[in-house]
Chains A and B, each alone.
Chain A
Amino acid sequence: MNRPRHILVTGATQGIGLALAKHYLQQGDVVVGCGRGESTLDHPHYTHACLDVTDEPAVRRLFKEIRSRLGCLDALINNAGIASMNPIALTPFETAQRIMGTNFLGTFLFTHAAIRLLRTSGSGRIVNVTSIAVPLRLEGEAIYAASKSATATFTRITAREVGQFGITCNAVGPSPVRTRLTESVPEDKIEALIARQAVPRWANPADVANVVDFFLKPESGMVTGQVVYLGGYG
């Protein structure tokens, strides 16, 4: 490819999404980020859209703008995610809807729109972010884990549907990374989880970026429908 890659990152305002946006800007890519809040990222190759990933008209406007400005997309990283750690009996319906909306339906909405632009790339990549909460089946995380489980299944089926366009679709499932999402979980609970990992340490955004880099490589065209968990789960 004799031009910078065009990469769209959802949930790019903070945490892993922000780290991924910075990572790809450092590699010379053109990055479009989105999130509910304004971005602190100031880079000539970065543009930010303030939107909720479940706001369909706003998402359509974003893709229309990307199409007219960039022409095509090389990678979509569906990173936007929220959590509310609560036992099922204490989880309000509205909270469950919000988590499923952002974590799963947002991923669907962006994938649906991105297939059109990724096809033009010739080697389009979709990377979804799931979680080690899926294989761990932790009590108190049912809705969050279910939304990420839905994302993992969606990843595998998307891979089959978009393969005809030369697009791959994979997922990365981070073990605990210090972000606003994990801040809401008691430290002792997280430490207990980390102790169960084959590699018992906190993950860094760079560990996540490493897996995403692999999925995005041109040589990874035959790697699709895979879910890679960090830390030795799975």
Chain B
Amino acid sequence: MEVPQIREVVLQAIERINLARRPKDRLEVSANAPIFGPGSGLDSLGLVALLIEVEEALQDAGHDVTLSDARAMSQTQSPFRDVPSLVAFIASLMAEAR
């Protein structure tokens, strides 16, 4: 799976998460949108819900990826801070798996 496809999976997962959120709490759906930390209304439990959505979509596409990382809650180093960092993190996990 290439970066544009991974990004699409992430954006679709954000859209699905948004369906369960109040309009004022919905997350931005764009290629550079923040996910977790400054500029995002997502708390840690909301982040878990989003990442599980992403994992399931990746598994449906045949990629067994687990999105766990010790830096998850870091304001500066979290791979989950925005869409580009999450996409890059998933791409690196897939490269490792290969």
**B49 cross-chain contacts in A, Cβ below 8 A:** 164-165
- The B interface is mostly helix, strand or loop, or mixed, namely helix
Indicate whether B70 reaches chain A with its CB closer than 8 angstroms. Answer: no
Cβ proximity bits A156-186 to B, threshold 8 Å, 1 near / 0 not: 0000010011000000000000000000000
CA distance A119 to B59 in the complex (A): 15
Complex Cα distance A164/B49, Å?
9
Q: Per-residue 0/1 for A47-71: is the Cβ within 8 Å of any B Cβ (1 yes, 0 no)?
A: 0000000000000100010010000
* A115 contacts partner chain B, Cβ-Cβ < 8 Å: yes
CB within 8 A of A60: which of B45, B56, B64? B64
Q: Which A residues are in CB contact (< 8 Å) with B52?
A: 115-116, 119
- A112 within 8 Å of B by Cβ? yes
Chain A residues near B66 (CB, 8 Å)?
60
Q: Mark B46-60, 1 if CB is under 8 A from A, else 0.
A: 001100100110010
By a CB distance below 8 angstroms, the chain B residues around A67 are: 59
* Cα–Cα distance between A116 and B49 once the two chains are bound (Å): 9
B59, closest chain A residue (CB): A67
**A84-114 to B contact mask, C-beta < 8 Å, 1/0:** 0000000000000000000000000000100
Q: Which of B45-98 contact A (CB under 8 A)?
A: 45, 48-49, 52, 55-56, 59, 64, 66, 68
B56 pairs with A116, CB closer than 8 A: yes
Contact A116/B45 with A60-B64, A60-B66 known, Cβ cut-off 8 Å? no
> How far is the CB of B90 from the nearest CB of chain A, in Å?
16
For the complex, what is the distance from the CA of A119 to the CA of B17, rounded to whole Å?
14
Q: Is A112's CB under 8 angstroms from B56's CB? A: no
Q: Which residues of A contact B (CB under 8 A)?
A: 60, 64, 67, 112, 115-116, 119, 161, 164-165
Closest 7 CB pairs of A and B: A164-B45, A116-B52, A64-B64, A116-B55, A161-B45, A119-B52, A164-B49
